[in-house]
Amino acid sequence: MWKRYTIFLNRLCRNPERRDLMPRRKREKAKSAFDSEKRRSEAAAFFISVKGIDRGNKAVRVDYSAKEKKGSTKKLRVLMAVLAVVMVGVISAGGYLIYQEFLKLGPPSQPVSASAASSGEDSGSSVPPVDPNDRLLVVGNSKTSLPDTFALDLQEYEGIPVDSQLLIQLKSMVRAAAAENVTLQVEQGYVAEEALQKNFDDTVSRLVSEGRSKAKAEAEALKTTLPAGKNEWSTGLLIRFANPGGGDFSNSDAYKWLSDHSVDYGFVIRYPENKTEVTGIETAQPQVFRFVGVENAKKMRALAFCVEEYADYIQEQKAGY
């Protein structure tokens, strides 16, 4: 009944002619009812737009937060896709740069063989003959003879005969040391085979006179000196530095300077203290240096090889081991 009365009042309020026929009190009451109904309608419309309506105890809601979540999810997917593209681009660029660097450097060199690294079980390890054309890597020791094809090419440095290939580097090294107030004085270079053989024979004779057999005397002599054909002093590639101050050369300024810089000029210590079992020479000779060329000298230092080990290593590299 109230609903019908409300409809009647609404119609009456909307019709000016009928509204004027009503008493003032009823008109005010009708207007108040109309305003209340209007507010309820607006409130209902607002509720529907925000929360939804309830039909048959079943909530039907307009979920704006879901739409917002859906939009955020879409944005997140787009962002992830962009990041993935960027990462792929970075990885591809890095791979390309690494490949280009690999092409510049070339394939890695073959590793040093175990035999080369562990050589020196016997006194004076036997070294396979090196390339006859590679004069700078010839080896002579108690078990390895110098190649017959080795040709002498001597020049003099301050009156001392040395191999012509080391002369320029020797002069440069001496000047560089002098610039740092270090004096390098060469006292020995090439020695003729006759002199080398005589020195070896004299050593054997002395040991025999001390009571050793000739075989034992020769074996013992090989630990300190070498006969002709096995002695690198006959190549002109060895030099001995003097020690004007006397005492142990390994404590001199010259030795300290040479230890740091000799490889830059192609020189290495021929008989280092920690390689006596490999070289076969039991007494270390820190003042004796061998010329092998700048590139070989630097590689020998990097590999911590003596001449025997490095010559063996080069042969294995050439053989493809």
pLDDT digits (tens, 9 = 90+) for 30-55: 667 667 666 666 655 544 454 444 44
* Residue-level pLDDT at 74: 74
Please tell me whether residues 124 and 55 are part of one structural domain. Answer: no
Residues 6 or more apart in contact with residue 167 via CB below 8 angstroms: 155, 157
Residues 6 or more apart in contact with residue 266 via CB below 8 angstroms: 166, 169, 291, 292, 293, 294, 296, 297
What six digits make up the tokens of 22?
A: 């009503």
**Which of 4-18, 70-84, 247-261, 273-287 comes out lowest in average pLDDT?**
4-18
Q: Rounded to whole angstroms, how far apart are CA atoms 320 and 125? A: 21
Q: Rounded to whole angstroms, how far apart are CA atoms 269 and 137? A: 14
* Residue-level pLDDT at 134: 80
C-alpha distances in angstroms, 133 versus 4, 129, 137, 147, 307? 125, 11, 9, 11, 17
Domain that holds residue 17: 2-60
Q: What is the pLDDT of residues 280-318, one digit of tens each?
A: 999 899 999 999 999 999 999 999 999 999 999 998 888
The larger pLDDT score, comparing residue 208 to residue 317, is at 208
Does a structural domain hold residue 185?
yes
Residue showing tokens 């590793």? 111
Residues facing 155 on adjacent strands: 162
Please tell me whether residues 166 and 306 are part of one structural domain. Answer: yes
What six digits make up the tokens of 38?
A: 């209007």
pTM exceeds cut of 0.85: no
Residue showing tokens 């917002």? 68
Does a structural domain hold residue 104?
no
Q: Rounded to whole angstroms, how far apart are CA atoms 50 and 58? A: 16
pLDDT band, residue 116 (cuts 50/70/90): very low
Please tell me whether residues 142 and 291 are part of one structural domain. Answer: yes
C-alpha distances in angstroms, 320 versus 110, 129, 315, 316? 8, 16, 9, 6
Please tell me whether residues 206 and 249 are part of one structural domain. Answer: no
Does a structural domain hold residue 35?
yes
SS3 track for 248-302: CHHHCHHHHHHHHHHHHHCEEEEECHHHHHHHCCCCCEEEEEEECCHHHHHHHHH
Please tell me whether residues 185 and 284 are part of one structural domain. Answer: yes
Please tell me whether residues 33 and 163 are part of one structural domain. Answer: no
- Count structural domains, the chain: 3
Q: What is the pLDDT of residues 59-100, one digit of tens each?
A: 444 444 555 556 677 777 777 888 887 787 778 776 666 655
Does a structural domain hold residue 29?
yes
Radius of gyration of the CA atoms of the chain, in A: 50
* Residue-level pLDDT at 320: 75
